[in-house]
Homo-oligomer: A and B are copies of this chain.
Amino acid sequence: MSWLPTSVAALVTADDRLARATWSRLAEPGDGTASDLIGQLGAGPALDQVLRGDRKDHDKFRAREAALDPRPGLDLLRRLGGRLVCPGDPEWPAGLDVLAAPPICLWVRGPLDLGESGERSVSIVGSRAATAYGQDVTYALAEGCAERGFTVVSGAALGIDGCAHAAALRVGGRTVGVLAGGVDRPYPRANEELIARIAESGALLSEVPPGSAPMRNRFIQRNRMIATISGGTVVVEAAIRSGALNTARTAAANGRPVGAVPGPVTSYVSGGCHQIIREGWAVAVTDAAEVADLVGRIGFDLAPRPAAPVRDDWDDLDEVERRVLEALPKQRGSVPEKVAAVAGLDADTVRSALGRLALRNLALRNGSGWRRGVLPPADG
């Protein structure tokens, strides 16, 4: 590729690397055409094809041809102590690969290794218009997660996002800020100092090159990264139809566990949390232990949990009670004499055991007979 100057070639280890940096200047995040083309041909040859100008659906890329040169962005990134992370790099976050159009490359600042820090990680997101309650809960959750060794991922926005990062930093934990604009452009400006602190000890990443403005579409695409780069997503406060719910939806659609924090039903910004809990694809989480439990379930946690929970109720029963319970029909009732015949016990023994089982709702009267209880989980 003739347009590759040697000075830039020295910065990167392969043509693919530089071609991807270039692609991130031409294609908007989430662009399916670019993603398909790179997937089919490789980043360099795909770029060559686009620049040849054969295809009408590539006009949108050629419209940005004037901005093709990736050197200024790479120079700036280097001055900021940053690096370009590409698919195939040990540091590449594998979680992103589930996306239909994964990032072509990541512009990264900060000392944190994205690969290592992603192994146990949780995205904590929510409303920019967070309440004092939401902020307090975010601090508690994010601190607890960070102290447990989870990397806290968020979007560096006002409200919940900012609190999540700040809490992780406060306890010396790991945190990753996923930005919609360039990593040289702290946004929102009110979080400028916080974003600088993330860059100092954690990582800031973006799929758009330095200098890029955070535009509406880029926030939506940024959310798909937050949703898939981590082991799971927790929404602390979110109004119905908010961006944070969109992040949660993308996480769930890609098989990631989703948690939501309950709040007052009178609070507008808890409405989205309650909605997704009701819909059944988010689990109600109330503290960091529950978040760790949720996110640790899916293959990302290094310490897998034991499989099925022990049936305490069954364990607490004696032999007679077990036989009676097993002899009980699940639907229609059966009289004690019949249960006795099935269980191979005498009727008086069965009646007495039924009384004990009934105290625990394991046996239920059904007219003149008895049936098995539908037992909800025990206290605990």
Among A137, A255, A262, residue most surrounded by chain B Cβ atoms (within 10 Å): A262
Q: Give per-residue flags for A365-380: 1 if the beta carbon is below 8 A from chain B beta carbons, else 0.
A: 1111000011111010
Cβ of A377 and Cβ of B281 under 8 Å apart? yes
Cβ of B263 and Cβ of A376 under 8 Å apart? no
Query: In chain B, what residue has the closest Cβ to A35?
Result: B365
CB of A249 closer than 8 Å to a CB of B: yes
In Å, the complex CA distance between A285 and B277 comes to 10
Cβ of A365 and Cβ of B137 under 8 Å apart? no
Interface residues on A, range: 35 or more
Cβ of B290 and Cβ of A278 under 8 Å apart? yes
Inter-chain contacts of A376 with B (CB < 8 A): 249, 252-253, 276, 279, 281
CB of A105 closer than 8 Å to a CB of B: no
CB of A77 closer than 8 Å to a CB of B: no
Query: In chain B, what residue has the closest Cβ to A99?
Result: B365
Q: Give per-residue flags for A218-254: 1 if the beta carbon is below 8 A from chain B beta carbons, else 0.
A: 0000000000000000000000110001000110111
Q: Give per-residue flags for A342-380: 1 if the beta carbon is below 8 A from chain B beta carbons, else 0.
A: 000000000100110011010111111000011111010
In Å, the complex CA distance between A84 and B11 comes to 92
Question: Considering the complex, which residues of chain A in the window 96-137 have a beta carbon less than 8 Å from any beta carbon of chain B?
Answer: 97-102, 133, 136-137
Inter-chain contacts of A245 with B (CB < 8 A): 379
Cβ of B98 and Cβ of A366 under 8 Å apart? yes
Cβ of A265 and Cβ of B278 under 8 Å apart? no
Query: In chain B, what residue has the closest Cβ to A352?
Result: B32
Cβ of A97 and Cβ of B274 under 8 Å apart? no
Checking B102, B253, B354, B365 against A373 with a beta-carbon cut-off of 8 angstroms, the contacting residue is: B253
Query: Hey, which bits of chain A sit against chain B, CB under 8 A?
Result: 32-33, 35-36, 39, 97-102, 133, 136-137, 240-241, 245, 249-250, 252-255, 261-266, 270-271, 273-274, 276-281, 283-287, 290, 351, 354-355, 358-359, 361, 363-368, 373-377, 379
Known contacts A36-B351, A98-B365, A100-B358, then 8 further A-B pairs from the complex at CB < 8 Å, ordered by chain A residue = A99-B364, A137-B265, A241-B379, A252-B376, A254-B364, A254-B373, A264-B264, A278-B286
14 A-B pairs within 8 Å (CB atoms) are namely A99-B364, A100-B359, A101-B365, A102-B365, A133-B264, A133-B266, A136-B266, A137-B266, A249-B376, A253-B364, A253-B373, A263-B265, A274-B284, A279-B377
